[in-house]
C-alpha cells in the first residue's frame, strides 16, 4: 500500500451510510437491477464477514458477504467489493478479499460465490462455475459466475438455484 497505512475492520452498523455513498459513486443507480441485488433484497449481509478499508478516517473500500443457498447447500455471496477509484491498484481490494475469505473459512463456511471478472478473482482462487450447474434470479452472464471452495471438495455435487438463505430473512 506504499506509504499509506491501510486498516481493514469488520463492518459496523455505523458504516452503512458511508458504504452506501461509496456504492453510489462507484456503481451508480444501475446497481439495483443486477441479479446479485435480487438476493440482497430480503436477507442482510453478515457484518462479521463484511469489511471496510480505511486510510486514517477515510473509507476507501468495502466488501460484503451475504448468506445464500445453492440448492440446499449453504454458501456465501461475496459482493459488492468496491474501492474508491484513486485507491485502486494499490492492494486495497486484495486486502479486503483476503480478510473476507479468511474469516469466512475460520467461521466454518465452506463455499463463496460471486459475479465478477475471473482474471481478477482467480488470483485468490475463484473459478468459473460450469454452465448450467447453478442459476441465479434474473439474467447473469454465466462466464462471470465464480466459486471458491473454503473447504476441500465443498463444491462437489452442488447444483441448483442460488437463492437467499431464507432462514436469515428480515422479518420487518
- More confident call, 34 vs 108: 108
- pTM, to two decimals: 0.86
Give mean pLDDT, residues 138-160. 93
Q: Which pLDDT score, from 0 to 100, does residue 137 have? A: 82
DSSP per-residue letters across 26-61: HH-GGGGGSHHHHHHSSB---GGG-EEEEETTEEEE
Pairing mode of beta strands 127-128, 160-164? unpaired
Residue at 82 is within a domain: yes
Phi, psi of 4 (to 5 degrees): -95, 135
Three-state secondary structure call for residue 121:
helix
In sequence order, what are the residues at sequence separation of 6 or more whose Cβ sits closer than 8 angstroms to the Cβ of residue 24?
Answer: none
**Do the domain assignments include residue 58?**
yes
β partners of residue 162: 70
Set of cell numbers at residue 62: 468495502
> Can you tell me the distance from the alpha carbon of 153 to that of 149, in angstroms, rounded to the nearest whole number?
7
Which range marks the domain in which residue 8 is found? 4-166
Mean pLDDT of the chain: 86
Q: Which residues contact 20 (CB under 8 A, 6 or more apart)?
A: none
> Does 86 score more than 50 pLDDT?
yes
Cβ atoms of residues 30 and 118 within 8 Å = no
Contact 69, 135 (CB under 8 A): no
Q: How many domains does the chain have?
A: 1
What band does 31 get if pLDDT is binned at 50, 70 and 90? Answer: low
Please report whether residue 171 resides in a domain. Answer: no
- Tell me, yes or no, whether 172 lies in a domain: no
CATH number of the domain residue 123 falls in: 3.40.630.30
Please answer whether residues 53 and 96 qualify as being in contact, where contact means their C-beta atoms are separated by less than 8 angstroms: yes
Q: Is residue 19 part of a domain?
A: yes
Pairing of strands 127-128, 145-149: antiparallel
On whether the CB atoms of residues 38 and 47 are closer than 8 A, the answer is no
Amino acid at each position: 500500500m506504499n506509504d499509506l497505512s491501510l486498516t481493514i475492520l469488520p463492518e459496523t452498523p455505523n458504516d452503512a451510510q458511508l458504504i452506501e455513498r461509496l456504492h453510489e459513486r462507484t456503481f451508480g443507480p444501475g446497481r439495483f437491477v443486477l441479479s446479485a441485488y435480487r438476493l440482497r433484497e430480503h436477507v442482510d449481509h453478515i457484518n462479521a464477514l463484511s469489511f471496510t478499508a480505511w486510510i486514517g478516517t477515510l473509507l476507501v473500500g468495502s466488501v460484503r458477504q451475504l448468506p445464500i443457498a445453492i440448492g440446499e447447500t449453504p454458501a456465501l455471496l461475496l459482493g459488492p467489493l468496491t474501492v474508491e477509484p484513486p485507491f485502486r491498484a494499490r492492494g486495497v481490494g486484495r486486502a479486503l478479499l483476503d480478510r473476507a475469505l479468511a474469516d469466512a473459512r475460520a467461521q466454518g463456511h465452506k463455499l463463496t460465490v460471486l459475479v465478477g471478472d475471473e482474471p481478477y478473482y482467480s488470483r485468490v482462487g475463484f473459478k468459473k462455475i460450469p454452465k448450467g450447474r447453478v442459476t441465479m434470479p434474473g439474467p447473469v452472464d454465466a462466464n462471470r459466475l465464480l466459486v471458491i471452495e473454503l473447504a476441500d471438495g465443498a463444491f462437489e455435487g452442488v447444483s441448483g438455484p442460488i437463492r437467499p438463505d431464507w432462514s436469515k430473512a428480515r422479518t420487518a
